Amino acid sequence: MVYVPIFKKNVSLHNRIFFIMDKATFFQLLSQEVSSYKSFLETDDNEWIVKGFIDVNKTVYTITCDTKVVSKIIEIILIPKLNRFAESNGLTLELPSAQNYYPDLTFKDSEGHLFAVDFKTSYYTADNRVNGLTLGSYWGYFRNRNTRMNMDYPYAAYQSHTVIGILYSQNPNISEKKSFSIDELSEIDSVIQDFKFFVQPKWKIALDRPGSGNTRNIGGATDVDVLINGKGPFSGLGEEVFDDYWMNYFNKVDAKMSGIETPNYNNLRTYKEYLNRQQSLFSKFEE
């Protein structure tokens, strides 16, 4: 038997030890694991280890800079490592049963406690800014937390909701018109480079506005330091404020369809004003 003391609790059954995880320990372990991923994904000159894809004739084709393509390839590379991470820490890793299900990864301990992890990628637009990222829907499963809407488990069943963030710079000089032989591998430029990784609870890097246009997605910070250090606008307010804000957030279209006519708030300043109005109304019942 092996005993690992960093876990919250251990239970012995038939000479086997099962570890029960808490969210603080899970976050610590995942952060330690992800800290090694930069060196894993980069060559010595800070380029991505992926140069293209190869066919049976050993012809190598360059990869597009399209963020969806890049993100999916990174996920495919990292999932086996995260599976080994799970196994070495008494967890099992489950992938979603359907495309576009939340989350990307579900970690489960021996008692069935669940931890949600989502991959989020973005590229630099300036020295300390990224193009932006979204943090999942504030509709559907986020509000109906005890149902399985586009999820294998209810949102409320998870102990925590964590983001593995992957930031990188794009190489503007890549041409998709060329192909290479496998012997020319060293001559192929990578489409991305200069990785930065971070692990943060979703609520700590969330903004108080949607991610794009009229979509029902929670917007994420675009400042690199905010993302890496988890210093978004909700970070000093707490997860309960984040949940309440986004569970009751309405864009103009949804407000009208719901009979509210106009949204009660659209940022943290007007949210505070809204709460003060509600408190004023409740206080009248106490008079």
Extract the tokens encoding 267: 């940022």
8 A C-beta contact, residue 165 and residue 120: yes
8 A C-beta contact, residue 217 and residue 58: no
Nearest to 85 by CA among 42, 39, 50, 36: 36
Active site residues: 104, 118, 120
Nearest to 163 by CA among 120, 210, 222, 206: 120
8 A C-beta contact, residue 162 and residue 116: yes
d(CA 186, CA 82): 28
Beta strands in the chain (DSSP E): 9-13, 16-20, 53-54, 59-61, 92-94, 105-108, 114-126, 129-130, 134-137, 158-170, 179-181, 192-201, 206-210, 217-220
